[in-house]
Structure 1
Amino acid sequence: MRSSAYLSVSRCGVFLVRLVIPSERRSHKDPRDIKFSTLTKDPRCARSIARRLRVYFELYLLQNVRIERQALIEYLRSNMKKPKLEDLAPFNADKDDNGNWRFTDVKPGDVGAIDAFLEAVNRSSQGDRPLSQVALSEPLPERFHEPGRLSSSARLRVSRHIADYLKSEQAREDDKEIGERSLPQTKTRLRPFLERFGTKQIGTLTPADMEKFKKDLVFYPVNAPNLRNAVNLTFDEIVSRSRRKLLLDNDGAIAERLTEATLEGYVTVAIKFLEFAAKQYAVNELVIKGFEVKTNARKGTIKRAFTQTELKSIFGDAYYENANYNRSYQYWVPLLGLFTGARLNEISQLQLNDVRQDDAGLWYIDITASADDDEDEDTKSVKNEESRRLVPVHQQLLDLKFIDFVKEQRRSAPSRKAEIEAKAASAKPGTKEANAKYTPNLFGLTSGTGDKYGKAPGRWFNEKYIAEYLEIKQPEISFHSFRHRFVTSLAQAIVDSSGLGVETVLHERIPESVILRRICGHSGAHVLTAGRNQNDVHTNTYTGAFSIASMKRVIDRLNYPGVHFFDYVEPILGTRKRKNTPAKKAGEFKVSSEELANLLG
C-alpha cells in the first residue's frame, strides 16, 4: 500500500509534511491526515525528510491494522533524522575534474536561483567550505512578485532601469518623436520616484508602494529642486516637512504644493517608466494600478478664453490708441496670439526669416524649432512635434501692415547688428553690454532661462498690462487665453459654416476641422483639437495635402466683431513712455457706454 505525502510551507517558511491515513485504518473521530514539521526551511532537505517519513509511514501501516494517531506521531518522530547540511548541496551541485559545474537536481524554474548560487560561490572567500554553507550564508534575494513571469532584469535596481529609460527617451528626442522640452521635464518629474525607490530591486515594487507614493506626492512642493530649504533633503524628508507646513519657499512663505494637474503629470511620467520596465518583464503590470488611488491634491487654475468685452478692453484702450508701448512686441505679440493661436514662446521666438511667402505669394508663419546643427545658444524650441506647423497670416494682420513691419526689421537688421557689436566691443569686459549678442529675432528679444523668449513679453502682458494697467485680476486668464479664444472662435465658425453638429464634424473629420488642427496643433480648448496622436497631426506639415491658400480660406473666417485694432506706430529709440493707472476715488467705478445702455434697458 502506498500513501500520499505532500509538502507545504508554514507562515514562518518551515516545510510541513502532510501524510494521509486511509479511512479504513483510522477512527472516524480522528482527522484524515497528519501534518508533521520537517524543522527546516531548506526545500531539498525537506524533500529528503519527506521521502524518509513516507517510507516509515508505509512501514507502520503494514505493521498495524488499526492506527492510533499519537502513537504514529511518536513513531515518525523517533525515526526522523535530519540530514547533515554538507550532504545537501543546492541542486546537487558538484565540480568535475575540469572545474565545470554540474547540477543534477534542477527544475525549469531554478535557472535564476542557480545564477544566484554561482554568484554567491564566486563572492565567497572561503573556497574550502561546503557548497551548502556557502549558499546559505549569503543573504537571500528579495522575493519577487510572480517570479515565473519576470525576467532576470527584475533583480536590477530601479535607478538602473531609469537610466535605461532616459536613454530611450533621448533616442526618441533625437528621432524627433518628442519635443526637446520633454526629456528635461521627464527627468524632473522622475526625481521623486528615483529618490523613493532608486535603491530597490524593481521586481519588488507593489501596487501598495505606488499608492503610498502618490499620496505622499500630494505634499511635494512646487519647484522643489530650487528651494534653498530643500537642499540635500530626501524625498521623504521634503514630504514630511511639507506635510507639517515647515517647508518654506525662497521668500520665507510656506512652500506651495503641486496642483492636481501637475501631480497627474508626475504620475503619468512614473506610469510611462513602469510601462517601459513591464515590456522587459522587469515589473508586474499590476503595479501601475496603485496609481488609481484618489488624492486630495489642490486643484490648479483652469485657463479660459478671453471674452468679447475683455478683448475690447485689451485692444481698444488708450494704451494702443496713443501708442504708449515702448517695444514692438508689446503691440504685435498679443495680436499674433489672437490671430494665429500660437503659444507665447512660439510667437516671441520668431525670427526674420520665419515669415515667408509661398509660390502663390501668400504670406505664412513657419513655427518650428532650430536645426540640430544650430550651435547658437539662443535656439528655438517647440512644445512637441505637433507644434511644428505653418500658419497663414490672417487678413486682419495684413491690414494692420504686419508684413511692412517684417520687411522693415529685415532692412534694418544689418545696422542693428553692427550697433550691438560695436557697443559690445567698447564695453567693459564681463559686463552685460560686453556679452550682448545680435539675434535675428523679429522683435529684438533674447532668450532667457526657463521661459526662453517669452519671458519678457509674458511678464509685461500678464503682470503689467492686464493686472496693473487694465486691472483685470483674474487667475484664470493670461496670454494663453488668446489661444483658447482663437481655437474656440475658429472651431465655432467651422461648425456654423458646415451646417452640422459638433459631434458630426468630429466624426466625419471634414477638411476644415483637420485644417484647424494643422493650424493650432494640439489644444484642449475645443473637442476638435483636444485629441492626441490622430493620423492627421502625424502627417508631415510641409508635405501635407493642404496648401497655404486652403488654410488661409479657413483662418480668414475668424472674426472678432466689435473689437477695434489701432495701427502700429514704431516706438522711438531712446525714449520710454510710462502709462500709470489713474487713481480712483472712493466709490468710483467705470461703466462703458454699451454696458450703461444694457443697464438702462
Structure 2
Amino acid sequence: MNAPATITAAQFAGLARDHLQGELEAARARRAPDPILPTGGEVEATLDPALAERILAFISAAEAPSSEDDDDTAAQAAPAGRDGGPIHLPRELAAPLLAALRSAPPPERPTRRSALAASLHRSQAALGCAMMARRALTTNDHALSRGMVDIVAASAGLEVTPQIRPVLERVGLRVLEDVFRVEAVRETGHYGTGPEQDRSLFAVHLRTSPLTGRASDLVAGSGAPDPLPPVTAPPEPEAAPTPPDRPSLAPPAATALGPTESLASLTEAFFEKRNREKIRHQGIAQERTTLRLFFDILGDRRARDYRRQDITRFLDTLRRLPSSYGKSPKDRQLSVEELIARAEAAGAPRLADKTVKRHLSALSVFFKLAVDRGHLTLTERNNIIGEHDFALGDAREARDQWTDEELGRLFSSAVWTGRDPARRSAPGTEITRDARFWIPLLCVFQGTRLEEVADLRRKDVTHDAGVWQLGLTTEHRRLKNHSAKRTIPLHPELIRLGLLEYVAKAAPCPADPLFPDLEPQGADSKRGARITRWFVEYRRDIGVFREGVGAHAFRHNVATRLREQLHDHSDLLRLNYLLGHASGTGEGDVRYDKGREAQAMAALLSRLSYPEIDLVHLHVRKRGDLSLPTHW
C-alpha cells in the first residue's frame, strides 16, 4: 500500500477553501426560506349609516367640478379638495369619525423581525467568525483551525507531518477569516469581490444597533428611527445534520464586531507606553506632532477604517508643509491648509522626504499599539503603513562622513594640541582634559552617539573578562531605542590617552557623572545640549565646519572603516551591536557583554584605526601613583 503524500501549505489553502465554501453553500441550500412577516394590518371600523352618508356627501361635493363664475360656492363646499389636494373635514364630521376609529380593534403588530433582518443577523454571525480567526492569528492560537487540518488532509488522502502542521494551522486561520468575510457579504445579497465587497458589507453593518438589533437600523443608509419597539430575532432554522464523514469546519458563531473606539482614543495609552519605554523627551514630542498632524489631516476613525490611500494622502500633505514647520509656536495657531497656503505664497522650501519618513515611522509604532489592542491585525497594519516610497537618494550620499583631511585638522586643533587659556579655539600651551576634550574622542573611537556618552556615570565604566567596557543603560537616562542599550569595550587608544585615569579623578563615586562640567539642560535634563552647540561653534572657528557633518557623522566613519575589517558574519552582528543597530535576526542575537564575546568585540574594535589622527603626544606614559585597577 502506498504511503500518503505529504501536503504543502499552498495545497492545503486551496483544499480548505473549497471544502469550507462547499460546507457553507450546502448549508445555505438546505436552509428553509426566511418568512416574510407582516409589518401591520388594515383597520376595520363600522360607521353609523347617517355619519357615513354625511361624509360621502361632503367628499362628493369636494370632488364635483366647479364653474368659473361660482368659485365662492365651490370653495365653501371643498376648501382644498380639487386637483388631488387634501380634503379637510369640518369638526362636526371629524369628531365622530375619530371616535369611531378609536373604537376599532388595533392593527396586528409584528413580533419578529423581517426576512431582511434575519439575513443581516446571519451576516453579523459570519463576520464574528472572521474576527475570531483574525484574533487567533494575532495571538498565534491555532485551536480554531486544528480540526480543519485533519479533516482536509484526510479527505484528500494527504499526510500532515509534525514539521508542517503549525504552518498549515496558521494558513487555516487565514482561510477561515477570508471565507467567513465573503460569507458575511453574501448574506447581505452582495456577491462581488474585492474592495467594493468590503465597502458594501460595512455600509450595511455600520448602522447596526448592538443593543436592540432593530430592523430599520440594519438597512444601509437608513437614518430614520424605527417606529416599532425593539423586537427579538427569529430563531435560525435548523440545518440538516452534517454527514459523519464531513464534520463541520465552522468555528462557533460570534456577534462581536471588534473594538468600536476611535484610533485617537489610544493616544494617551500610547504615550504612557512610550514613557515606560524611556523614549527621549524629544522623540515623544516629535511623535505627538506626528499624531496631531495625522488626525488634523485625516480625521479620527476606527483603526480598521483607514486605508492605504489615506496614508498616502497624509504623506503627500506633509510634503507640502514648509520645512520650518514646528519651529515657531505660531504654527500651532494655523491649520494645515493655512500653513501650506502660506508656504506656497512665499515659495518656501518644503519638508524633506527624510522628515516625512520619520513621521511615518512614528505612525507605524502607533499603529502597532492598535494591533496589540485588537483594533486591527498585523497584516492590516502592514498593508496600510508598509512599503511607502521616499525620495531619499543614495544612502551613501545621505550619510555624510568626515573626510581624512577633516579628521586630521580637527584633532590637530587647539583642544588636542594646546589652547589659549582665554579662548579654547585659539592655539596655546594648555590642554584641558574635560568633556570637550573627551567626548569627540569617544564618538570617533567608539561609534557612540554624543548623548550616550555625555550622560555617562562612573559605574558605567566596568571591567569584565579582562576587558574595560562602557555600559550604555537606561538607568539614569533615555536612549534612542531598545538596541541602543548595550555594553561595549573601550578602544585601546582611549586607554592609552588616559581615560581611566580621568574617570578615577573626575568621578570618584559610582553615581558621579563623568563630565561634571556639563550642566543638565532641557526637559530630559541631558548634558549633551551644551556641548552640541559648542562643537558647532568650535568647528566654525577652526575652519572645518560642513553642514550635516558633526559628532553623529563619526558613527558613519566607524561603520565604514570597521566594515572593511569584518572577517565573518559574526563580526557583522558585533558591529551592529557596537553601533546600537538592530541586526534583524531577533532572539538569535548574541549578547556581547560577557566573557568570550566581550573579548571578541574588543578584538573587532581594536581594528579601528585613523592614520590621519596623531595623538601620540597625549598618551599617558607616566601614571604616577595611579595604577590601572582591575575593578573600581
Which TM-score tier does this pair reach, normalised by the shorter chain?
A: 0.5 to 0.7
Which whole-Å deviations, capped at 9, do the CAs of 1:395-439 have from their partners, x for residues lacking one? Answer: 21122122111122135x79xxxxxxxxxxxxxxxxxxxxxxx96
Q: Point out where structure 1 has 5 or more consecutive residues left out of the alignment.
A: 1-43, 50-85, 94-102, 124-129, 137-147, 247-253, 371-378, 415-437, 499-504, 523-529, 571-601
Give the direction of change, closer, same or farther, for the CA distance of 1:119–1:445 in structure 2 (3 Å limit). farther
Match of residue 98 from structure 1: none
Residue 386 (structure 1) shift: 1.6
User: Could you tell me which residue of structure 2 aligns to residue 446 of structure 1?
Assistant: 519
Matched, 1:152 2:260: no
> How big is the shift at 1:199?
3.4
After the TM superposition, which residues 379-398 of structure 1 pair with which residues of structure 2 at under 5 Å, given as runs?
Answer: 379-398=476-495
Give CA-to-partner distance per residue, 1:235-283, whole Å, 9 cap, x none. Answer: 444344444449xxxxxxx5x6432112112123324444554673558
Note the C-alpha offset of 1:295: 6.8
Contact 1:305–1:485 under 8 Å retained in 2: yes
**Does residue 193 in structure 1 map to residue 294 in structure 2?**
yes
Amino acid at match of 2:301: K
Compared CA separation, residues 92 and 532, structure 1 to 2 (3 A): same
- Superposition deviation, residue 455 in structure 1: 1.1
* 1:561 positional shift: 1.5
Report the alpha carbon displacement of residue 115 of structure 1 after superposing the two structures with TM: 2.8
Match of 2:546? Answer: 474
Q: Distance in 1 between matches of 2:406 and 2:504?
A: 31
Q: 1:516 aligns with which of 572, 575, 579?
A: 575
Partner of 1:596: none
Cα distance 1:545–1:358, how it changes in 2: closer, same or farther (>3 A)?
A: closer
| Aligned residue among 461, 464, 468 for 1:363 | 468
Cα distance between partner residues in 2 of 1:514 and 1:218: 36
Name the CA distance, whole Å, in 2 between partners of 1:264 and 1:201.
23
Count of matched residue positions in the alignment of Structure 1 and Structure 2 = 397
| Residue number among 442, 458, 467 corresponding to 1:336 in the alignment | 442
Query: What TM-score comes out, normalization by structure 2 length?
Result: 0.53
TM-aligned CA distance change 1:265 to 1:306, over 3 Å:
same
The CA deviation at 1:357 is 2.2
**How far, CA to CA, are the matches of 1:149 and 1:287 in structure 2?**
26
Alpha-carbon distance change, 491 to 469 in structure 1, aligned in 2, over 3 angstroms: same
1:552 is the counterpart of 2:602: yes
What amino acid is aligned across from residue 531 of structure 2 in structure 1? P
Judge conservation of contact 2:290–2:359 (CA < 8 Å) in 1. yes
Identity %: 19
Distance 1:45 1:472 in 2: 86
Tell me, in whole angstroms, the C-alpha distance in 1 between the residues paired with 2:408 and 2:282.
35
Q: Is 2:307–2:384's contact at 8 Å kept on the other side of the alignment?
A: no
Deviations 1:15-50 (A, max 9, x none): xxxxxxxxxxxxxxxxxxxxxxxxxxxxx999989x
Determine if contact 2:442/2:453 at 8 Å carries over to the other structure.
Answer: yes
CA distance in 2: counterparts of 1:450 and 1:223, whole angstroms: 22
Letter in 1 for 2:416: Y
Q: Secondary structure at the match of 1:133?
A: coil
The aligned residue for residue 533 of structure 2 is: 459
> Do the aligned partners of residues 381 and 534 (structure 1) sit closer, same or farther apart at CA in structure 2, a change above 3 Å counting?
same
Cα deviation digits, residues 288-326 of structure 1 (max 9, x gap): 458766577999982322222111111123442223446
Which shifted more, 201-210 or 272-281? Answer: 272-281
Partner of 2:380: 285
The answer for unaligned runs of 5 or more in structure 2 is 1-33, 40-106, 126-204, 218-223, 231-252, 425-431, 621-632
Residue 565 in structure 1 maps to residue 586 in structure 2:
no
* Deviation string, structure 1 residues 540-569 (Cα, Å, up to 9, x no partner): 454x56444332222222221242116559
1:290 and 1:150 map into 2 onto residues whose CA distance is 29
Distance 1:487 1:88 in 2: 80
One-letter identity of the residue aligned with 1:449:
G
Structure 1 residue 342: Cα displacement: 0.8
Alignment equivalent of 2:306, drawn from 192, 205, 210: 205
**Rg (Cα) greater in structure:** 2
| Residue 517 to residue 200, structure 1, CA distance change in 2 (3 Å) | closer
Structure 2 CA distance for partners of 1:201 and 1:333, relative to 1, 3 Å: closer
Q: 1: CA distance between counterparts of 2:323 and 2:454?
A: 26
TM-superposed CA distance for 1:534, in Å, is: 4.2
Residue type at the aligned position of 1:115:
S
Asked if the contact 1:159/1:198 (under 8 Å) is kept, the reply is: no
C-alpha contact (below 8 Å) 2:503/2:514 kept by paired residues:
no
Which residue of 2 is the match for residue 12 of structure 1? none
Rounded Cα–Cα distance in structure 1 between residues aligned with 2:255 and 2:286: 30
Superposed counterparts of 1:243-392, under 5 Å:
243-245=344-346, 257-274=350-367, 276-277=369-370, 280=374, 282=376, 285=380, 288-289=383-384, 302-324=398-420, 325=424, 328-358=434-464, 360=466, 362-370=467-475, 379-392=476-489
1:4 corresponding residue in structure 2: none
Indicate conservation of the 8 Å contact 1:368/1:388, yes or no: yes
Q: CA deviation at 1:329?
A: 1.4
Instruction: State the alpha-carbon separation in 2 of the partners of residues 387 and 294 from structure 1.
Output: 27
Q: Is the contact made by 1:218 and 1:296 (CA closer than 8 Å) also made in structure 2?
A: no
Tell me the CA shift for residue 119 of structure 1.
8.6
For residue 364 of structure 1, give the secondary structure of its aligned residue in structure 2: strand
